[in-house]
Amino acid sequence: MLIDAVQSYLALRRACGFKLRYQEYRLRRFAQFSMARGKTHVCSETAIEWAALARSIEQRTRRLRDVIQFARHVRAENPLHELPRAAFGRSSWRRPTPYIYAREEIERLIRSAREHGCSDLQKDTYGTLFALIACTGLRVSEALQLRLSDLTLDGLVIRSSKFRKTRLVPLHDSTRAAFERFIERRRGCAQADDPVFVSSTGFPLTLWEVEYMFHVTATKAGLPRGPSRPRATLHALRHTFAVRALESCPDGRDRITQHMVALSTYLGHAKLASTYWYLEATPLLMRDIAERVERFATGERS
C-alpha cells in the first residue's frame, strides 16, 4: 500500500534526524488522494493533479517537491513508482532571502514585547525570550525547551535539538547577567526541571503563543510584516545573529575557516554548507566576497 511506503520513508528519514512534521501531513494526504483513485504506486499524473489543488504556486511547488523526494526514495526498491516532473517550478528547495535586523529594530522589538502581557512576569518573559534568541542565535524551539537547570557555569545546555544533537552555548557576560536576573524572578517555587519560559497560566509556552506575541509586538514596533519578502520573523533573529557573527570574522583565510567551523558548531548546524549560506545574506558580506574574488583574479593571493 502507498500509505505503508510513506510510513517507511518517514521512519527512515526521521532516523537520520529529520522531523518532517509538515511533510508527513502532505504525503499522507497525497497517499489518500492516490488510493481514492485506485493508485497503489506513485503516479506522475495523479501527483500533479493533487499538487494543483493547492491555492498558490508556492504551495503547489511544495506539495510536488515532497512527492518527488518521496518518489526518488521508493523507486530505488520498486521501479513501478513514477518520478513526477517539477510542473510548478524547481523541485529542489531554495532558501528565502532572510530579513536582517538592524540593532535599533531589535531594541524596538524587545521594548514592545515588554509592554504587552497581562502581568509583569509575562511581559518580562517575552522580552527575555526575544532578547535571548537575538543574543545567542538559538532556534525558537531550543529556547522553548530550556529548563531552569540548563543554565550552567559554562553556558546554556541545549538538549536534543534539531538532528538530535546536544551542545553547549557559551553566553556573553551581559547576556548571562540579564538571563540570571530573569531566572531569579521566574524561579519562585519552581523545580530545576521546570521550563524557563511559561505562560501566565504556568504551562510551557507553545510555538503558537510565541508566534502570535511576536506578530503583535513586531507590528507595534513598526517592523515589516506584510506578505512581501524579506520580512521580519522570529527565526530571522537567528539569521541576524549568524550574519553579524560572520561580519565580525577576522581577516586571513585560515582564521576565516576556523571562525566558520566554530560558528557552525555554535549554531548546531549539521552541515557546514548551512553556515556558508549566510555569506550571501547582506550587501556587506557580498561586497567583501566580490573584492576578494577580484583580488584573486588579478593575481593577489592575500
Q: Which residues are catalytic?
A: 139, 162, 235, 238, 269, 278
Residues 6 or more apart whose CB falls under 8 angstroms from that of 213 comprise 113, 116, 126
Q: Which of 137, 139, 131 is nearest to 112 (CA)?
A: 131
Cβ atoms within 10 A of the Cβ of 17, count? 12
Contact criterion met (CB below 8 Å) for 100 and 223: no
Q: Cell numbers at residue 174, please?
A: 551581559
As a 3-state breakdown, the chain gives helix, strand, coil percent values, each rounded to 5, of 60, 5, 40
DSSP structure class, residue 145? T
> Phi/psi of residue 257, each to 5°?
-60, -45
